[in-house]
Structure 1
Amino acid sequence: MAGTGAGAYAWTGGMHIVDISALYSPDGGGIRTYTHRKLEVAQQHGVRLTVVVPGAEDDVRTVGRARLISLRSPRFPLDRNYFYFASDRIIHDVLNEQQPDFIECSSPWGSAAAVAEWPGHAPRALFMHAEPLSAWVYRYLDGLLPRHTIDRGFDWFWRYLRRLDGRYDQVISAAPSLSKRLRDGGLTKVTDNALGVDPGVFSPGNRDEALRARLLAQCSLPADATLLIGVGRHSPEKQWPMVIAGVTAASYGRPLGLIILGDGHARASVARAVGENPHIQLIAPVRDRTEFARILASADMMVHGAPAETFGIACAEARASGLPIIVPDEGAAYDQLAPGLGLAFKSLDAASLAGVIAAAIPQLPALRTTAIAAAPSARTIDAHFAQLFAGYAAVVDARRAA
């Protein structure tokens, strides 16, 4: 990378970035996948990367010159797959030890305040890997109160974010819908940097008709049925019971199957929503990325229910696989919906979802043709990291010049 990009630091041993990543879970999820790729590519950009996460045990994993440092921490009580940093002092101690050139914080909660208050001179960025009002508050209050009323009631959170905005050099947003919400909320340092898919993994060429027939057979359906796929952990914000209700309603009078790849603390409620429906099957997450890409490309459409999605990465992977997508009409999943690549339903409305699925099935040949043609243009995650590291290097350069 030329000029003042991240590559300019390669000869000095690399710009040292420390990522305080409170939302990482070793048991899966999009942030885990994101973090592992980040560790793999950092050295290519002249970056010395240290990712610090809360975990079950003290541990250090090395990936080239990058490191994943796990600090023994308490488990998060609402989801035992996650952990949390027990105090600000732990974060300050690790920053004192690492002496980074740049700090990234990957959670807007307590760790963000701890990083902001660390007295070191390194510039820092807050990466909005989660937007809690959409993920939690709206889920319970939508339909009871208008969004602007909810936001007024939680203005303390927006004041908190604005204070962080004043202490950080950048606030990274990976989706246009989230960027707009942050700017509308008064943040002034929002930097847009869309995520992307693993390069060379997802493609319409991965489609396997025999695999598709086996998945439909698992749903007790013939090979000429329509196969929907959903991807995401079993947690309330993913809205799987609503998706299941919509798919079940849409299946009356037509052969329609749904495979949901995922797991999580809300699995019991998702299983209850499925009930005795043989045409909807829950499958554990597929860790092998090549096999996952084959499954994805072998479906007919992806259905996604979460209006609080921060990135919509599963929808991006579906697009790269040549799948039309059916998404709610708000949030980052909706950001992935380009003309001709799928349809949108009214957010949180199972009846609307059912109607959209029914409308999409006759359009499938045209939708698939358009989706397959658009698949090669999908943004890659490596393009995201190139932009991210170059942006951080520019901040460091500007700080040093000043």
Structure 2
Amino acid sequence: MAESSPLLSSHGVKSDFPSILQGKKILLATESWGPVNGVSRTTRSLVEYLCDHGVELILIAPSFKADTRQRSLWLRRLPGAALPYNPDLTVVYPFHLSDIYRQAFEPDLIYLASPASLGFQMLLQIRQLRAPPPVLLNFQTDLSAYSEIMLPAPLNQFGVWLLATVQGFLFRSRAVHTIFFPCSAIRGYLERAGAPVDRLVQLGRGVDTALFTPVQRDNIYRQQIAPEGEIILICVCRIAPEKGFEFLAHVARRLAADKIPFKLLIVGGNRNPAVENKVQRLFHGVQHHVIFTGFLTGAALARAYASADLFLHCSITETFGLVVLEAMASGLPVIARDQGGPSDIIRHGETGYLVPPRDLEGFTSLVREMSGDVIRRGAMATAARQYADDTTWERINRRAAWHMANALAHTDQESNGSRPRVRPGMIASICEQLRLMLAVGVVYLMWLIAVVPLIVHGNRFIPRAWHALQQQFQCTRPLRN
């Protein structure tokens, strides 16, 4: 379905913005709007692109306490409960779809960014509509991987099964036209979960090559970070148990034991101080080599990237790895564990290196070699920047827009111009009303079973997660390939 549009070229995208979208009403629901993470940045780029081209858009997102900006009329926050191990993420309380429609508008198309607590509820209720608008969703977060890492046994295996079952069921809805996925590993997971293969479309992420560029390199900043001329290693990610910090700490210890002169710049944070403290304690004994900057954005983040010499990526739960692409745009070679999204981005031996996820010695050896090889770092830096130049947000967003146009055209063809417009939420028959009530009830049940334990136990799960991850460099969970 998703690939058979008369509007799309043979390469899946055209060079201009699809005129069919101009003036259309799109409801965009995202699980993250405000926090510094890949989903939020990706969604913001798409929103700006659509608005710049005349699309009428309403944005729905969970509540976010740190959002101090003036709220625009087209943004509505839904209440929920923040996750204890990552307060930037909110689990939305159960809601009724008709409430959103009444306060927003009747959309021509719905776009779900990284559907989870908000997107799942919308998909479940959209299934009950007699004439739903076409739906596109972007699968950007491997919730199953997080469940297996964060939840204690046997709840972790139940979480994996529940998510696969729910996702497969919801993604098969007749309203779902396109399911974007970021990398080949995630495609395999979606297929096994039962998502329709003919609706799967690979859509990566772009990078702002004007912001993230080698010209942002700041020698004064470098002198502050590495006053003795040490090589600067950088890691950029949210401070969280699943981001591979245990592995990174082992790398740092081995480099220090080998007397390698280095500084490790860790950019990122977590609004839960307990999590940040856990991460910092991992580097006990080598703390004089490590600098935690906290969250950085914009020019400050670009300066940090460009002022480093080598990017280290130790997470094994990334569906794409936007930070890898930003590092490459900044002219940095990348050494990453060969799992998930980075495996599709990095050209091994050309723009960086991919290391088997459990190969701590191999990872450390490459860092050691690259630290002393200025010529090789320079050649890889040039190749990395060239790769990033071909991966811009303009290309990615345009491709997404043409698939939206495809969905609208397909809907018009099916209805032959006579598709009845039924206001969502105003379902006429008693039978359909009962089905909708049942669907909302199922959401409550799922929420009680899968989410409430996290909220009730709170930080009790964090030590368990760290205990499991202490052996991560020896016993790594393979991402579904």
TM superposition score category, shorter chain reference: 0.7 to 0.9
Contact 2:30/2:112, CA 8 A, preserved across alignment: yes
d(CA) in 1 for partners of 2:119, 2:19? 28
Match of 1:207 in 2: 217
SS at match of 1:327: strand
Give 1:270 shift: 0.7
Q: Give the SS at the match of 2:326.
A: helix
Give the corresponding residue for 1:370. 380
Q: Distance in 2 between the 1:177 and 1:311 partners?
A: 10
Q: Which residue of 2 aligns with 1:19?
A: 28
Contact 1:123 1:169 (C-alpha < 8 Å) held by counterparts: yes
- 2:78 and 2:294 mapped to 1: Cα distance? 28
Structure 1 residue 361 displacement after superposition: 2.5
Asked if 1 retains the 8 angstrom alpha-carbon contact of 2:186 and 2:319, the reply is yes
SS in 2 for 1:98: coil
Letter in 2 for 1:205: V
**Aligned partners of 2:162 and 2:181: how far apart in 1?**
21
For residues 249 and 151 of structure 1, what CA distance do their matches in structure 2 show?
Answer: 34
* Cα displacement (A) at 1:267: 0.5
Q: How many pairs does the alignment contain?
A: 382
1-structure distance, mates of 2:192, 2:112: 22
Partner of 2:444: none
Task: Find the aligned partners of 2:24 and 2:402 in 1 and give their Cα distance.
Answer: 11
Residue among 172, 175, 183 paired with 2:183: 175
Matched, 1:85 2:96: no
Q: Equivalences for 1:49-128 in 2 at 5 Å?
A: 49-56=57-64, 61-62=71-72, 67-89=74-96, 91-96=97-102, 97-116=104-123, 117-118=125-126, 119=129, 121-128=132-139
Q: Structure 2 unaligned runs (5+)?
A: 1-5, 9-15, 415-481
Q: Give the direction of change, closer, same or farther, for the CA distance of 1:332–1:236 in structure 2 (3 Å limit).
A: same
> Which residue among 55, 63, 83 is the counterpart of 1:47?
55
Unpaired stretches in structure 1, ≥5 consecutive residues = 145-149
Distance 2:29 2:351 in 1: 36
The 3 A distance-change label for structure 1 pair 83 and 161 is closer
Letter in 2 for 1:176: S
Within the alignment, does 1:226 sit opposite 2:231 as a pair?
Answer: yes
| 1:310 aligns with one of 301, 306, 319 | 319
Task: Compute the RMSD of aligned alpha carbons.
Answer: 2.9
Which residue identity does 1:32 align to in structure 2? Answer: S
**Equivalent residue for 2:250?**
245
Q: CA offset at residue 348 of structure 1?
A: 4.9
Q: How far off is 1:234 after superposition?
A: 0.7
Match of 1:290 in 2: 299
Shift in alpha-carbon separation, 1:272–1:393, aligned structure 2, 3 A? same
1:165 aligns with 2:171: yes
TM-score by length of 1: 0.85
Contact 1:8 1:46 in 2 (8 A): no
**What's the offset of the Cα at 1:151?**
8.1
Is 1:398 equivalent to 2:410 in the alignment?
yes
What amino acid is aligned across from residue 226 of structure 1 in structure 2? I
| Amino acid of the structure 2 residue aligned with 1:355 | S
Which residue of the other structure, out of 146, 160, 163, is the alignment partner of 1:135?
146
Q: Rate the CA distance shift 1:269–1:151 in 2: closer, same or farther, 3 A.
A: closer
Task: Compute the displacement of 1:152 (Å).
Answer: 10
Report if aligned partners of 2:231, 2:261 keep a CA contact under 8 Å in 1.
Answer: yes
1:388 aligns with 2:391: no
Residue aligning to 1:147: none
Go from structure 1 to structure 2 and tell me whether the alpha carbon gap of 1:49 and 1:175 turns closer, same or farther (over 3 Å shift). farther
Percent of matched pairs sharing the same residue = 21
Letter aligned with residue 213 of structure 1: Q
CA shift for structure 1 position 196? 1.1
1:197-250 CA distances to partner (integer Å, 9 max, x unpaired)?
124111122222332222113xxxx11x21100001111111113212212212
Whether the aligned pair in 1 keeps the contact of 2:334 and 2:353 (CA below 8 Å) is yes
**Do structure 1's residue 33 and structure 2's residue 38 form an aligned pair?**
no
- C-alpha separation in 2, matches of 1:200 and 1:274: 34
How many Å apart are 1:304 and its aligned residue? 0.9
Quick one: higher RCO (CA 8 Å, sep 6+), 1 or 2?
2
Secondary structure of residue in 1 paired with 2:57: strand
CA contact (8 A) 1:247 1:353 kept: no
- 1:368 is paired with a residue whose SS is helix
Distance 1:166 1:136 in 2: 22
Q: Tell me, in whole angstroms, the C-alpha distance in 2 between the residues paired with 1:393 and 1:299.
A: 41
How far 1:49 sits from its partner (Å)?
2.3
Matching residue's letter, 1:130: T
